[in-house]
């Protein structure tokens, strides 16, 4: 029998609508700016934090699933996505966006002084759909595996 920490997974999945709303608000605010870079320092920092929170949400849920279902240990953040995709948690399209997302982690948390802050990151537009698919796929996977 597997021990799945449903409460922790649910809390993180319940956070996804906030991330989606943040993406929408960032896209709207950024598109309303004019001039070079089309943004402000505050919008850039908001974008970085949004991306970081999305990474942590996905990798936290991923780690909980890996532990609960005794999947192969992941060797990196990118590998968490690979393991989940390999186990059939979500589709290829979702995996591609999530892998692109988690690849940003190092830059966001270690190389933040060198990040370009001159535009809206393309992932902000891709994230809402990928996060929605992720939020739907995780409970479906858990239900399927718990039978």
Q: What is the mean pLDDT of residues 17-27?
A: 97
Q: What is the mean pLDDT of residues 87-94?
A: 97
Among residues 30, 33, 40, the alpha carbon closest in space to that of 124 is found at 30
pLDDT computed for residue 71 by the predictor: 87
Q: Could you tell me if 125 and 23 are in contact, meaning their C-beta atoms sit under 8 angstroms apart?
A: yes
Sign of CA dihedral 93, 54, 64, 17: negative
Domains in the chain, ordered, with CATH?
6-146 (1.20.120.580)
29-78 per-position pLDDT tens digit:
988 765 445 678 999 999 999 999 999 999 999 999 999 999 899 999 99
Residue 92 has pLDDT above 90, yes or no: yes
pLDDT computed for residue 2 by the predictor: 73
């Amino acid at each position: 029998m597997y021990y799945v920490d449903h409460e922790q997974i649910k809390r993180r999945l319940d956070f996804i609508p906030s991330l989606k709303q943040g993406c929408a608000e960032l896209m709207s605010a950024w598109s309303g700016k004019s001039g070079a870079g089309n943004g402000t320092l505050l919008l850039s920092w908001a974008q970085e934090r949004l991306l970081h929170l999305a990474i942590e949400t996905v990798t936290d849920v991923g780690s909980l699933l890996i532990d609960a279902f005794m999947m192969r240990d992941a060797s990196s953040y990118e590998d968490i996505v690979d393991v989940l995709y390999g186990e059939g948690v979500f589709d290829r399209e979702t995996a591609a966006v999530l892998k692109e997302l988690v690849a940003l982690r190092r830059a966001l948390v270690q190389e933040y002084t060198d990040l370009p802050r001159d535009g809206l990151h393309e992932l902000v537009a891709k994230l809402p759909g990928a996060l929605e698919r992720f939020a739907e796929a995780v409970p479906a996977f858990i239900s399927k595996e718990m039978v």
